[in-house]
Structures are given as C-alpha cells and as structure tokens.
Amino acid sequence: MTDKKIEIKLIDVPDNRLRDVDPDRAELLAGMFKEVGHLTPIDVVQRDKRFELVAGAHRLQAAKLCKWKEIDARVLDPDVGQSAHELRLREILENLARWDFNALERCEALYEMKQIHEALHPETKHGGKRGNQHTGGQKRQVAIFAFCQNATEATGLSRRSIEFAVQIYEALTPASRERLKNTKFAEKQNDLKLLADCDPDEQAKVLNILFAEEPEAGTVGDAITLVRHGRAESDPDKRVRTIYNTMPKLSLAGRRSVYRTFKDEIIELVKSEGWLND
C-alpha cells in the first residue's frame, strides 16, 4: 500500500457503489477540509494509468467542492492479491465504521457482506435444502453461522442483529428497496420489519399508500392495516392493541395488580355477562 497525492481527474468512481453520496454530508466535509485540511486519505486501486475509488466517496466529493486538484490517497497494493470482492468488502466495512447507516443501508450492507462471504467461500453457499436438518439443512446452518461469525468479528454487531438485518433485506422486494431509499421509512428497522413481513403484493400496496400525494396513512403499520382491513387503525384501537400485547408479558402478580385497579368495572362486567352463572 502506497500513500501519495493523486490528481482528482484521474479517479473513477464505480457505478455499483453500495451507497450514493449524500450532498449534505459532502458539504459538511468540504467545510471541515477548508478549516483543518484532509486528514484521512481515500483508498484507491490503480487501473492502468487511472485509479478506481474503493473507499472515500464523500471525501472525494468534498475535495471536488473545495476545487482541489489533488487528494491524498492510499493506493492499495495489487500484490496483496485483493479481489474485487475483497475491495468491495473493504468499502462496506469502512462505511459501517465511519458513518451511521440508516436501517435500510445497514441491512443492505450486511446482506452484501453475506453475498461477498459466499463468493469468497463458495463451499458455504450451497448446503442443500434447509428442510432436512440432518444433511443439507445442517450444512446451511453451518454456512449461516460461518458468515455471521465473520461479520460479527468485522463489525462488532451481534450475530442475532446481523441475521435479523439480512432476513429483512432478503424479504423486501427489489422494488420495495428502491422505493424506500432516501425516505423516512428507511430509517427505522421496525418499519422495515413490518413491511418485510408483508407479501410482495402487499408491500407494493403499502408503499403506494405511503408515497401518495395525499397519503391515507402516515406510518407503515397504519398503511398495512388499511391494506388488510380497508381502514386505518384509530388511536383507541392502537391503545387496545397495546394492552393486548402487553398483558401476556406481565407476571401473574403484575396482571393481578391491574385487575385490582379495575376491580369494580370487572365485577360489573362479570355480573352483566353472567360469567358465573354456568
């Protein structure tokens, strides 16, 4: 690996980068560059007489906004035998470490890490059908564990969070992923999970509601209710659902405390319904 200044006009940015440049972030970096200079070199690999960007798209754009002619760069040594997959993995890991991904971007990054892992270790990709727990299914689980172990060590994320993020991304249709990009609904993993639990047709209908000029629902949950039941969930409905979901999670002592609080209403209901008459 060699550190050197490179003419910006000689640097090519691949079209298939994981993440588009955020103009606001580039502007912020440009302001920092003008104040303190460029502290962290970008990473490139040499392609004949030009260079291909591996990591540092926002820094490169910031340098362009500063109208710099050159930028500090680390030229990755081709002698280390880094494949295109390994260079791509380097980009993903740098982004995971350097910037806060939104939920969709994090799911996408971890999904792509899985794809790269399988490309670099093809023996882990085809383990047979998951349904046979003694043969193919067992091999598949070993493959998944191998990827998650690798990703956990690289990112510091738990195995469960990695598995969960990959599952969400795989369940979202390509069309849904594209429509969600750069929207507020890409920011929360819970929203993505709700959408991922829908079938492809429902996903499209839910997003049609959310992205309409005059949306009938403002949340993923409400849009799903509208698609499935023909009406959005009211505030009282939401409160009742919250109670239904919470009560079973309380201890027996906790539930009895609730019953005592509403003892008079419960007794009146028992009498009116005749529950003790049978």
Give tens-digit pLDDT for 249-266.
889 988 999 999 999 998
Structure confidence at residue 190 as a pLDDT band (50, 70, 90): very high
Of the chain, the percentage scoring pLDDT greater than 90 comes to 24
**What is the Cα–Cα distance from 198 to 188, expressed in whole angstroms?**
16
Pick the residue with more confidence: 49 or 152?
A: 49
Structure confidence at residue 235 as a pLDDT band (50, 70, 90): confident
Per-residue pLDDT, 153: 60
**What is the Cα–Cα distance from 226 to 84, expressed in whole angstroms?**
45
Q: Do 145 and 152 contact (CB within 8 A), yes or no?
A: no
Phi/psi of residue 73, nearest 5 degrees: -145, 150
**Is 207's pLDDT higher than 70?**
yes
Q: Which of 38-42, 45-49, 215-219 has the largest mean confidence? A: 215-219
**What is the total count of domains within the chain?**
4
Nearby residues of 32 by Cβ (< 8 Å), 6 or more positions away: 62
Per-residue pLDDT, 49: 86
For the CA atoms of 172, 178, 184, 190, the dihedral, rounded to the nearest 10 degrees, stands at: 10
Q: HSE on the CB side for 274, CA within 13 Å?
A: 2
**What is the Cα–Cα distance from 123 to 251, expressed in whole angstroms?**
47
CATH no. for residue 84? 3.90.1530.10
**Is 132's pLDDT higher than 50?**
no
Query: Is 123 in the same domain as 186?
Result: no
Last residue of a domain, one of 70, 90, 110: 90
Query: Is 83 in the same domain as 8?
Result: yes
Per-residue pLDDT, 98: 56
Per-residue pLDDT, 16: 66
Q: Do 18 and 92 contact (CB within 8 A), yes or no?
A: yes
Q: Is the pTM of this model over 0.85?
A: no
Is 96 inside any structural domain? no
**Distance, CA of 202 to chain centre:** 20
Alpha helices in 121-180 (DSSP H): 136-155, 159-171, 174-180
Residues 225, 183, 202: CA angle, nearest 5 degrees? 30
Is 95 inside any structural domain? no
Tell me which residue range forms the domain holding 196. Answer: 176-233
Range scoring the smallest mean pLDDT among 76-85, 133-142, 230-239: 133-142
**Is 90's pLDDT higher than 80?**
no
**What is the Cα–Cα distance from 120 to 57, expressed in whole angstroms?**
25
Tokens of 90: 């380097």
Per-residue pLDDT, 130: 40
Average model confidence (pLDDT) across the chain: 79
Query: Is 33 in the same domain as 86?
Result: yes
Interhelix angle 159-171/103-120, nearest 10 degrees: 100
Last residue of a domain, one of 90, 111, 127: 90
Query: Is 151 in the same domain as 198?
Result: no
